[in-house]
Structure 1
Amino acid sequence: MKVDLTGKVVIVTGGSKGIGKGIATVFAEQGAHVVIAARGMEAATDVANQLQAQGLSASAATVDVENYESVESMATEVANSFGSIDILCANAGIFPSMKLEDMTTDHWDQVLNVNARGTMFAVKACVPHLKKANAGRVIITSSITGPVTGYAGWTHYAASKAAQLGFMRTAALELAPYHITVNAVLPGNIATEGLDGLGDTYLQKMAKAIPFGSLGRVEDIAYAALFLSSKEAGFITGQSIIIDGGQTLPEDAEAF
């Protein structure tokens, strides 16, 4: 897929690993300057250096999406350094597993603060700069878990991901007069380093749940985000795209 992002400035929160790193790589390959924004500067710098070694344009920034001042400062620094913010990929998120009976308010708040409030903070901080861009774009990384499916141990995560979509729809309405689109990608089971250590049996179980018979790649999510960032997608807003290899389709898991 070819989308010319030459001259565009893209922020990817949570861009130092997993889906965020995949998004950052694909966008950089299309000519954008990508800012890898993450809590850990060392990890963000490592990814930026890897992209630069490939002849791509990238830089690193530190951000704590739970803290609005941190997010606002990062967005202002990016806009001042590179002249604009054209695309925000609000991807930062956490997914600790915990049964409802064991969950405390602190556990709940941490996940909602990072995943849902962190998304709002990132979008809010970038809005003044996206308004100045020519057709700004916001792509939120949500999940099938919460909006479409449930998974034991993830009540807090599921709630946060459903909340992102409610936020997305109204944000899309508010920002439409400025020709800023706000959309979301909903990954299914995707192979990332976050799955390392779960064991082959668990990974095989995850793959078996997908009609395609294998886990998705981070690039599968990145290319969907890339389309939503394109000028060709300029009349699409407030929408979500499921990228799951058909995982959510079967009524009977044994039917395929």
Structure 2
Amino acid sequence: MSIIQTDRWLKEYGDQPVKLCENLITYFKKGKAVDIYQHLASFGMYKPSIFTRKDEIQQFIKANHWSTVKKLFESIRKKWNGPDIPIIILPLNERNAQLMKENGKAGLAFKDKLFLFLPREIGALEIKALLVHEYHHVCRLNQISKKEEEMTLLDVIILEGLAEYAVKEICGESYNANWISYYSEEKLEKWWKTIIFPNKDVKEQDPEYNNLLYGRSGYPKMLGYCVGAHIINKCIDKKKEKLSNVERMDSLEILKWLT
């Protein structure tokens, strides 16, 4: 299935993202277009104010990110022998100053589909780094036996840590997310032991889940993500193990092996 030609949707409904999301109902099997849009917008999808002018829509379409992603995906999928899933490319919310400062791009991965939220102007290597990160999620979700709704905080931070290590291996450290270097190893080790480990079994339904994962309500910024990267770095760099071996392990296996 691979790359979905969302340029056709943008030509028709570029200034009506909720209407555009009616095309996505089939990929979610249930839910309303407005609910799908709100969920995607929370991860970086554009808002109506971005495309109030037709020339802005045309700029995004003219960039032809679909062609770039197609070539990159074919190469990455072959390398990892991963699943063929629909990749849905949509404009990024470029009015979100924090989002632009942090990464300038965003994505959202599921076991059976992948979303890329891209700005009008972005280099191919930046797209590759995002695709590597998000598609690694897809591959891992298809390797482990847990359903997405059953995943714990530990599962998710390891998922993120593995994906960023894959970016480092394939694209180089300069293409890692900014949060990868927020804190020292000493701080991360301390927070792992005192904050994350005691809450490792928390699930998304718990109010504390997002606070711990993203670093809200007084927790350090991007706490879960940063600790996840720290765990994987310890497994691979300090233990001299290969990513290809670690990424096949269940989260609890990694935890036992780490200690």
User: TM over 0.5: same fold?
Assistant: no
Between 1 and 2, higher relative CO (CA 8 Å, sep ≥ 6) is seen in: 1
TM-score, normalised by the number of residues in structure 2: 0.28
TM-score, normalised by the number of residues in structure 1: 0.29
Higher strand share: 1
Question: Which one has the largest radius of gyration?
Answer: 2
